[in-house]
Structure 1
Amino acid sequence: MGVVDYRISTHKFEKPIFARLNIETAKKDGGSGTYNGIGYSIEIIGNFMPEDELQGVTHARFYVFGNEIRYTIRD
């Protein structure tokens, strides 16, 4: 599950499938915030509102057991 979410969020720049958005860190843009999975988490910043020109994830930070594995930015 973590491998799928890793690939989707850091390579395809989409929201994770298996991890769930933490309500306390959620922003009001439709998807930015911290997503928690079993043993991993993903911090996402993106454009998810219908009026946004380039929709999807713009920044993703992937953590496994609290250690940062990858930080990626979409150009």
Structure 2
Amino acid sequence: MAILTGIFDWFRVKGFEKPIFTISITADDGGSGIYYGLGYSINIKGNFMPEDELPGVTYYEYYIFGILVDKGLRD
């Protein structure tokens, strides 16, 4: 189950959307922060306020057991 949720959340974040199967520790903007899943974590930054022109994730780092596996930047 941990592998499936990790893969699903990874594909969501790669598509610059928030992960679903995680517990979040977020910042004041309603979405940026660290998201913890079963054996993985995702650090995201983005535009999550209603007045933002380009909403969604703008940068992510994906970790499995604390090891950086993937990162991406939205242009």
TM-score after normalising by structure 2 = 0.92
Offset of residue 21 of structure 1: 0.4
Q: Show the 5 A alignment for 1:20-39.
A: 20-22=23-25, 26-39=26-39
Write out the 4+ residue segments of structure 1 that deviate beyond 6 Å after TM superposition: none
Task: State the match for 1:71 in structure 2.
Answer: 71
CA distance in 1, matches of 2:22, 2:58: 18
CA distance in 1, matches of 2:11, 2:32: 17
Aligned residue pairs total 71
1:7 to 5, 8, 11: 11
- In structure 1, stretches of 5+ residues that fail to align are none
1:17 to 15, 20, 24: 20
CA distance in 1, matches of 2:12, 2:36: 14
Offset of residue 68 of structure 1: 0.2
The alignment yields a C-alpha RMSD, in angstroms, of 0.6
TM-score after normalising by structure 1 = 0.92
Percent of aligned pairs sharing the same letter: 52
